[in-house]
Amino acid sequence: MYKRNSVSIIIRTLNNKFLLQHRDNTEHIEYPDCWGLFGGWIECGESPEEALSREIKEEIHCSKSDNLGLSNVRMLFQEERADKGWMEFVFYGEVTSDTNQIILKEGQAIAEFSILEILSILKLAPHHKNYLEKYFLIENKCAFESLLINKKMNSIKNYLELTVLGNVKDYKALEKGDGYILPSLCNPTGVFHTKVDAKIIALLIFKKDEPRGFHYHLEKIEYMTILSGKLKCKFSLPESDEQMELMLEEGQQIKILPGCIHTYTAIDGDVYAIEYAPQRYKESDVIVIKS
C-alpha cells in the first residue's frame, strides 16, 4: 500500500524575506485559514522533487513568465509528522521574480514576511513554524537566538548604549578609560579602546541632509563613534510603532544591538565617524527597510 508523504518549501524573496500562503478557510484541508508554506502531497510514483515542482506550478506563478524562477533549490531535511503518520520533505529555494509579480492560484492571499514578523504570526501552521525555526537555526544559530532574545526587549532603549569619550589628549586617562576625540573640521582625531575584538572597522562620512541606513542587522552589533559634526539618528523596531531620535556629537559613541532599525542624517555639515563590530560583514545579515 502506498504511504502518502508530503513536501513543503521555504521560499526566500528578493527582499530577503520569506513567502507564505494564507490557506483557504475550508474544513477539508489541514490548518484552514492559517498562514503556511507552499507544498502538498507526493503522488504515487513521484519523487519529492517532482512533487514539489508540480505543487508550485499548481499554487503560484509569475505574471510575466510561466516559470516562477526559483534558484538554489535544495532539500533541507525530512521531518516525520508524528501527529499524522507521514514524512514531510522540506525544501529551500530563492525566488528570482519580484513579489508583486507572483500570482496566487490556491489560497486566500500571498505575502512576504521577515523573520521577526514570522515569529509574531498568531495563525501560522504549527508544523510549518517548526520547519522555519529549524531552518533559521541551521542557517544562522547565533543570529536567530539573538532575535528571539531581542523580541522580548520591548523598548528601543534596551537596544542602545551611549558612551561619552573625553575631548582632551590625555594618555593616562586613555589607559584608564575609553579614549578621547579631538574634533576638527579638517583633521579630526580619535583614539579609543574597542569594547570588543573588532572583525571589521570602517571610516564613514555622512553628507549633509542625505539620510543613510534604513536597515537593521540579524547578528551584527554596531559600535559607532562620532569624530566630528552632528548626526541625527532615528531608531525604530520592526512590527512596532515606537520610534526614538538622538542627536550624536563629537566624542559620543553608540552601541546598537541586532534587530534595531537605524537611519542617520548629517545636520550642519559632513559628519566623520568610525564604526566597528565583532562580526564580519555578511550581506545576508542586513535587512533593508523601505524608506
CA distance 269 to 22: 48
What is the predicted pLDDT for the residue at 1?
46
Phi-psi region of 239 (alpha: psi -120 to 50; beta: other; left: phi over 0): left
| CATH number of the domain enclosing 128 | 3.90.79.10
| Residue 177 and residue 115 share a domain | no
Task: Tell me: pLDDT of 66 over 60.
Answer: no
Place of cell 510514483: 45
On whether residue 151 sits in a domain, the answer given is no
One domain, residues 193 and 97: no
On whether both 20 and 97 belong to a single domain, the answer is yes
Averaged confidence pLDDT in the chain:
85
Q: Is residue 175 domain-shared with residue 135, that is, in the same domain?
A: no
In a domain, 147, yes or no: no
> Residue 243: is it exposed, middle or buried by C-beta count within 10 angstroms (0-12/13-18/19+)?
exposed
Question: Cβ distance 143 to 282 under 8 Å?
Answer: no
> Which DSSP category does 42 fall into?
P
Instruction: In whole angstroms, give the CA distance from residue 118 to residue 271.
Output: 37
Region 51-78: mean pLDDT is: 82
* Residue span of the structural domain in which 102 resides: 6-139
CB atoms within 10 A of CB 92: 19
The 10s digit of each residue's pLDDT in 99-119 is 788 888 888 999 988 877 887
Residue 16 vs residue 111, higher pLDDT = 111
Smallest Cα–Cα separation from 171: which of 143, 150, 192, 145? 192
**In a domain? residue 75:** yes
Closest alpha carbon to 35 in 99, 109, 92: 109
Mean per-residue pLDDT, 35-39: 93
110 and 61 in one domain?
yes
Of residues 222 and 159, the one with the higher pLDDT is: 222
In a domain, 248, yes or no: yes
> In terms of domains, do 164 and 201 share one?
yes
Output the pLDDT for position 186: 65
Q: Name the domain boundary from 85, 107, 139.
A: 139
Q: How many CB atoms lie within 10 A of CB 47?
A: 11
- What end-to-end distance do the CA atoms of the chain give, in Å? 56
Residue 144 exposed, middle or buried by CB count within 10 Å (0-12, 13-18, 19+): buried
pLDDT in tens, 130-154: 898 888 877 766 666 666 656 656 6
Are 29 and 89 contained in the same domain? yes
Residue where one domain finishes, among candidates 106, 139, 172? 139
Same domain, yes or no: 120 and 167: no
Per the structure, the count of domains in the chain is: 2
d(CA 41, CA 2): 12
Written as one string, the DSSP assignment of 112-153 is: EE-HHHHHH-SSB-HHHHHHHHHHHHHH-HHHHHHHHHHHT-
Q: Are 37 and 129 in contact (CB under 8 A)?
A: no
State which amino acid sits at residue 236: S
- 19 is written with which cell numbers? 513567502
Which tens digits make up the pLDDT trace of 177-224? 778 777 765 677 888 888 888 999 999 999 999 999 999 888 889 999
Q: Are 223 and 257 in contact (CB under 8 A)?
A: no
What are the Cα distances from residue 273, in Å, to 166, 206, 218?
A: 16, 8, 22
Here the CATH number for the domain that contains residue 249 is 2.60.120.10
Q: Using CA atoms, how far apart are residues 17 and 118, in angstroms rounded to an integer?
A: 10
Residue 144 in any domain: the answer is: no
For residue 74, the Cα-to-chain-centroid distance in whole angstroms is: 21
Q: Are residues 172 and 284 in the same domain?
A: yes
Q: Let me know if residue 148 belongs to a domain.
A: no
Residues recorded for the chain:
291
Same domain assignment for residues 87 and 161: no
Q: What is the pLDDT of residue 142?
A: 60
- pLDDT in the model for residue 159: 87
Residue 30 domain flag: yes
**In contact, 20 and 37? CB cutoff 8 Å:** yes
Quick one: pLDDT at residue 133?
Answer: 83
The residue among 139, 169, 188 that closes a domain is 139
Residues 174 and 223 in one domain: yes
Write down the pLDDT at residue 126: 84
- Give yes or no: residues 198 and 274 share one domain: yes
Q: What is the pLDDT of residue 6?
A: 93
